[in-house]
Amino acid sequence: MTIKIGISACVLGEPVRFDGGHKASTFCLQQLKPLVQFVAVCPEQAIGLGVPRPAIRLQRDEQHNIRLVQSRDPAVDHTSQMLAYTEKLLPGLASLSGYVVCAKSPSCGMERVRLYDDAGQQLGKIGVGIFTRQLMHHFPWLPVEEDGRLLDPALRENFITRIYACYDYQQQMLDGFSTAKLVNFHSRYKFLVMAHSPVAYRELGRLVASAKLFDAAELSLRYLTDLMQALKNIASRKQHANVLQHLQGFLKKSLSQAEKHELTDLIHRYRQGYLPLMSPLTLLAHYLRQYPNQYVAAQRYLSPYPEQLGLRA
């Protein structure tokens, strides 16, 4: 099966913005598109707003409700239409493994969307697009990212890591959840989690260990949600180095003193900032070919997404 990723239609290059333009993402179109199936959505066009169309904005009324209104004529209110459309659409998006939304959009923005009061005064960049707010509430586990933030290498790598972890979990549980499947999945992901959040590494371990205390559906959702939240943290050099040292430990009986010293040195130099992550990873992979270790080789930390994306380079 192909990974399905939701995406704002304008980010995919479709001319559906209010001014008839688009916000095509080079990364999505050139690097990600060959590997996934995009599901393009333009909520504004879907509720009947034409192209081009009057600009809209988020506005907070006296009761502090957030409304989606026309910028020049706030009496034209699209909130009910947007909420009804979103409620109807969301159940059909349950198979998605991620979603790329359009930054700053009053319908699709993930954060820092301009919010206005009834008088038309800007309250600050404190809003969330109406559609995306409902999306994230309905699927709290779903990796969601904005097109603009994907220009940041660390955020881009983090988002793709979450997408592939989410998809792997969905595939693992495709024909039903079981504790055995959960244990198998967690055993492959524990070091990836450790790199992103040592605290979550311990908490998820305890959750899996006490799996029999939970209802299956509740446990499945809780694990996936907690996993996605843990992976949302950007892994630091210190945390990567810690994981690399742990993985090296599994090979200590196989490596010679010279090999141990070489790998230890590379990990240390990476931690200090002198080398990229691929340096110790490449040497570790080399030693794994020489001295096979099934448990270490199965760790998704070593290969969290397709190599051709080049995100760790």
- Do 46 and 88 sit in the same domain of this protein? yes
What does the pLDDT read at residue 62?
Answer: 85
- Do 147 and 245 sit in the same domain of this protein? no
Query: Pick from 178, 206, 231: which residue ends a domain?
Result: 231
Mean pLDDT taken over the chain: 96
Mean pLDDT along residues 205-210: 97
Q: Does the structure show a pLDDT above 70 at 120?
A: yes
- Do 169 and 290 sit in the same domain of this protein? no
Mean pLDDT along residues 101-114: 97
- Do 162 and 224 sit in the same domain of this protein? yes
- Do 128 and 18 sit in the same domain of this protein? yes
- Do 27 and 129 sit in the same domain of this protein? yes
- Do 167 and 66 sit in the same domain of this protein? no
For residue 312, what pLDDT band results from cuts at 50, 70 and 90?
A: confident
Q: What share of the chain is helix, strand, coil (3-state, %, to 5)?
A: 50, 15, 35
| DSSP assignments along 31-81, one per residue | IIGGGEEEEEE-HHHHTT--SS---EEEEE-TT--EEEEESS-TTSB-HHH
Structure tokens given for 104: 């700053």
- Do 257 and 215 sit in the same domain of this protein? no
- Do 190 and 272 sit in the same domain of this protein? no
What does the pLDDT read at residue 86?
Answer: 98
For residue 1, what pLDDT band results from cuts at 50, 70 and 90?
A: low
Percent of the chain with pLDDT over 70: 100
Domain that holds residue 169: 153-231
β-bridge partners, 145: 100
What does the pLDDT read at residue 287?
Answer: 97
For 253-297, what is each residue's pLDDT tens digit?
A: 999 999 999 999 999 999 999 999 999 999 999 999 999 999 999
What does the pLDDT read at residue 124?
Answer: 96
- Do 127 and 218 sit in the same domain of this protein? no
- Do 32 and 134 sit in the same domain of this protein? yes
Q: Does the structure show a pLDDT above 80 at 138?
A: yes
Q: How many whole angstroms separate alpha carbon 140 and alpha carbon 120? A: 32
Closest CA to 266 of 177, 15, 175, 255: 255
Owner of token pair 């707003």 = 49
Query: Pick from 123, 151, 179: which residue ends a domain?
Result: 151
pTM, rounded to two decimals: 0.95
Query: Pick from 124, 151, 178: which residue ends a domain?
Result: 151
Question: What is the total count of domains within the chain?
Answer: 3
- Do 179 and 47 sit in the same domain of this protein? no
What does the pLDDT read at residue 313?
Answer: 74
